[in-house]
A and B are shown apart, each in its own frame.
Chain A
């Protein structure tokens, strides 16, 4: 199977510093004692190990969600059973044929230096993506990763770099943080907030501000509507009260003083006619 550019699935990776940016060497390091050799691992196992949480985490947040969400990144049958080494061989062959259209021209002379992303891309599991256009499913996956992955990507975290026996308390803090940031299902912020990528954060802040402004304007219009109607009613009431008063007074006046005598009714009047015979 060669790595064609056309998508095998509808999934896409967000390029900006995902867990898939880890090189395979790094992945190997962390799997270390618990995982088997990377090369002979098939893609399915590789992904599972990357995304699963080591040990049994009592916190239900990222752990279980991560695993269950992982199901959305479904590998095509034929790929999932392939081992990493086999995929690598395919990539090598394809390289000779020329791999065009790939944005990042990273040369990976050895398998170990290749990043997960590139591996999956070249294996044809995922497609390239436009920055800022990550699919929701993938984002959830990326967010719910094993905390040790985050250690790599957020070196500013004040945690010791040794992973193997990490204190559970710290783990939970990281897990809750990652689930907090990744679990936001705001439909208007497709950008991933988990990683400190300045551009993405800026965009989401901008969008939030725009939304806030629109909301404010809408609220102002609502108030204007309400006030206009209330004012209209007040004016009407006031006018009706005045008229009412006026009519009452007029009625009073008419009781006391009868107004002008009723108009002459020609039928009732005495008429001068020459009806006498004489």
Chain B
């Protein structure tokens, strides 16, 4: 994985994305978002007409066994001076395998094209690394989501398809 550098997050802080939307974090994955081959740079302005279709989102990092979730939002709705509707959700893609792009994931919330009405809006793409499926802990999960004790359970057995079985 290439060296991200501490400076990568600075434009996000200056543009108040870290603050209004996110807490401070350390980027570890290089993500390229591009509309029609044009890469999205922090703070650059695009025309709504050029972002009417979903962009290409490349994940440079991780591995094929790690999965990522992408979220796109607008924190300046309906207008930046009084964003009483913040945030507006535009897109969610889950289970994106590492080193691939968003087309390999599952579109949980379909892409909604940006249509800023009042003032200049920011549109933010956020990438999360999903927790591994290994080392899952059911008890811990129940506590985390405050589920309490189970109400039902059942189990079955299985082995390798071609394994020698008792006749």
Contacts and interface: CB of A to CB of B under 8 A. Distances in A.
Contacts of A231: 10-11, 14, 42-43
Q: Say which size band chain B's interface belongs to.
A: 10 to 19
B14 A228 contact: yes
Interface string A113-131: 0000000000000000000
A184 interface: no
A232 B11 contact: yes
Contact of A227 (B14, B44, B119): B14
Contacts of A232: 11, 41-44
A235 B119 CA distance: 27
Interface string A217-235: 1100100111111111101
A224 B16 contact: yes
Contacts of B7: 235, 238
Given A231-B10, A232-B41, A232-B43, A225 B81 contact: no
A220 to B, nearest CB: 9
A236 to B, nearest CB: 7
Contacts of B8: 235
B120 interface: yes
A89 B96 CA distance: 87
Given A233-B41, A235-B7, A228 B15 contact: yes
B80 interface: yes
Contacts of A221: 16, 80, 120
A214 B81 contact: yes
B41 A217 contact: no
Nearest to A214: B81
Interface of B: 5, 7-8, 10-12, 14-16, 41-44, 80-81, 119-120
27 contacts: A217-B81, A218-B81, A221-B16, A221-B80, A221-B120, A224-B16, A225-B15, A225-B43, A225-B120, A227-B14, A228-B42, A228-B43, A229-B41, A229-B42, A229-B43, A229-B44, A231-B10, A231-B11, A231-B14, A231-B42, A231-B43, A232-B42, A235-B5, A235-B8, A235-B10, A238-B7, A239-B5
Given A231-B14, A236-B41, 17 more contacts: A218-B80, A221-B80, A224-B15, A224-B16, A225-B43, A226-B43, A228-B11, A228-B14, A228-B42, A229-B41, A229-B42, A229-B43, A229-B44, A232-B11, A233-B41, A235-B7, A238-B7
